[in-house]
Amino acid sequence: MKQNLFAVLMAVFAIAIFPSCETVPPGHRGVEISWGGETNTQEVYGEGLAGGLHWLVDDMVHYDVRETTIVQKYEFNDKNNMSTKVEMALDYNLNPLMVHILHTEIKDIETKILKTMKSAGKEVVPQYSAVELNITKRQEAEDKLSEILARELPDFYVEFARIQMTDVDIPPAVAELAEQSSVQLGKNELAKKKEAEQVALAKARVAEAQGEYDAARLQAKTKDILSQPKMLSLMDREIEMTYAKGYLKHGTSRYGTGNWYGSNTAGVLKNVN
């Protein structure tokens, strides 16, 4: 009888104790809220099982304290006073030791974070042009954003990890100007190419004309030399030599058979042998 009574008591105890437990999932912290609505500001519950008869009436609120990312796009004026859209990605986590205080003081933590990001961007982006944020100054700007957010986010019990400018739009006016410049550069390059071709063609024509001029000049000079009396006399002597050599070989000449060189070739005959 006593054994049966003990078993019944144990069963009742087990039934009573089972609902008086709370579980905190991995990567979370728990905040105890009493039956009357009061927050326990003395203790933060870690992962795992939390037991106690008070859980029969108290509740547990879970806060995810793992690192998370929030991405938001804002519109600022750059240093040239041109409207520039900037997308920023913030990595952060809730301070795991302070979630019970956060629970009592802040209703919408995400809105707080987004407002802080916007405020930081409004301070940093106007120091640069959109082109600089895209090409040469993005890291510098991100460092300044990091400094601001690392200083201000802990006021909301948020731990800063990193901030990135994931996208910076080029203002339409700048994009249009860049496109026009690109087209003009293309036209300029084409014009330079055509100009170079024309210059090369002109040089070729000049060289051709120079060659023709030099050839004509040489030809005229040659004709002038050949028309001189001494040159004519030399040419006559060369012709006489040719005939003389032909006579020795064939026995005839322009003066006929047996007549070697005519009556005026004594000087030439000396040079035949």
Give tens-digit pLDDT for 82-140.
999 999 999 999 999 999 999 999 999 999 999 999 999 999 999 999 989 998 999 99
CA dihedral sign of residues 125, 126, 132, 134: positive
- Burial of 118 from C-beta contacts in 10 A (0-12 / 13-18 / 19+): middle
Q: Which residues contact 232 (CB under 8 A, 6 or more apart)?
A: 226
The pLDDT, as a whole number, for residue 172 is 73
Task: State whether 22 and 53 are in the same domain.
Answer: yes
The pLDDT, as a whole number, for residue 267 is 44
Query: 204 has which bridge partners?
Result: none
By residue range, what is the domain housing residue 188?
Answer: 174-227
- CA–CA distance, 58 with 226 (Å, rounded to integer): 132
Domain total of the chain:
4
Q: Which residues contact 233 (CB under 8 A, 6 or more apart)?
A: none
Task: State whether 28 and 58 are in the same domain.
Answer: yes
Q: What is the mean pLDDT of the chain?
A: 78
Domain boundary among 12, 31, 64: 64
- CA–CA distance, 45 with 63 (Å, rounded to integer): 10
Tokens of 62: 């879970």
Query: Following CA atoms 249, 255, 257, 258 in sequence, which dihedral angle do they give, to the nearest 10 degrees?
Result: -90
The pLDDT, as a whole number, for residue 9 is 47
Domain boundary among 10, 32, 64: 64
**CA neighbours closer than 13 Å in the CB half-sphere of residue 266:** 2
Task: State whether 15 and 52 are in the same domain.
Answer: yes
Q: Is the pLDDT of residue 181 over 70?
A: no
CA dihedral sign of residues 218, 223, 228, 230: positive
Q: In terms of pLDDT, which residue wins out, 32 or 225?
A: 32
Q: Is the pLDDT of residue 239 over 80?
A: no
SS3 81: coil
Q: Exposure string (b/e) for 53-63, b if CB count within 10 Å is 16 or more?
A: eebeebebebb
pLDDT in tens, 188-229: 666 676 667 666 655 666 566 667 656 666 666 666 665 667
Domain boundary among 32, 64, 96: 64
Global pTM reads: 0.59
Task: State whether 163 and 253 are in the same domain.
Answer: no
